[in-house]
A = this chain, B = another copy of it.
Amino acid sequence: MFIIEKIQQIEFVDIIEFLGTVAFAISGIRLASAKKFDWFGAFVIGFVTAIGGGTLRDLLLDITPFWLHSSVYLWGTVLAFVIVLCFSKHLVHLNNTIFWFDCIGLGLFVVVGFEKALVLNYPYWVCIFMGMVTGIVGGIARDIFINEIPIVFTQELYAVACIFGGIIFSVLVFFNVDLALSEIIVAISIIAFRIIATKFNLKLPTLNGEDSI
């Protein structure tokens, strides 16, 4: 009850979620463009990158995919498309800005995904999992569509940041910390984690690859 009420209140994060959507869509559109996708293909990849994670989460939780309730995610992708179309040559200089949006978007996506599972009374590990799915699956779908190995499996601590945020969220919920405060703490933790990981180029080890299986 408490949680559901709170979640309905969090409309103030909608703007930031929108920025996150745009940032995710831009990453998809740019990668698709580099692969010579046409306008339609680039748009779809942008949209899938932005909504893919939340869609798989909602399918697994057996609820209607969130973006069917509102066209705002479609418009976010349109905005991302227009940005890439108009400023593609200058976007490299904006890489830093986009990275920031992407970090903030990731933080919020994880928070939203975690809460969706929490409201449905799933145990913490499912909530953490759903937060992670919301954060990374869009990028995985993007990479499969452009016929690359998903970057999240080989580079950066992107997914670990999501899990890290989810664990913190679990602890905060367990100790009944105020939800709005928890959300902010979790989002900032994820953003901080990613920035530090990127700055110091931290990576997970690989297993001893066996060439012959």
Contacts and interface: CB of A to CB of B under 8 A. Distances in A.
Interface residues of A, number: 61
Interface in A185-213: 203-213
Report how many copies the assembly holds.
3
Contacts of A36: 154, 206, 209
Contacts of A32: 153, 207
Contacts of A33: 206-210
Contact of A146 (B31, B89, B146, B149): B149
Interface stretch (A3-11, A17-25, A55-63, A175-183): A55-63
Nearest to A44: B153
Given A34-B209, A62-B63, 8 more contacts: A38-B154, A38-B203, A40-B153, A59-B59, A84-B207, A85-B207, A92-B213, A145-B153
21 contacts: A30-B210, A30-B213, A33-B206, A33-B210, A37-B149, A38-B203, A38-B206, A39-B205, A39-B207, A40-B153, A40-B159, A40-B204, A41-B153, A42-B206, A44-B153, A45-B153, A68-B126, A89-B208, A91-B210, A144-B144, A145-B149
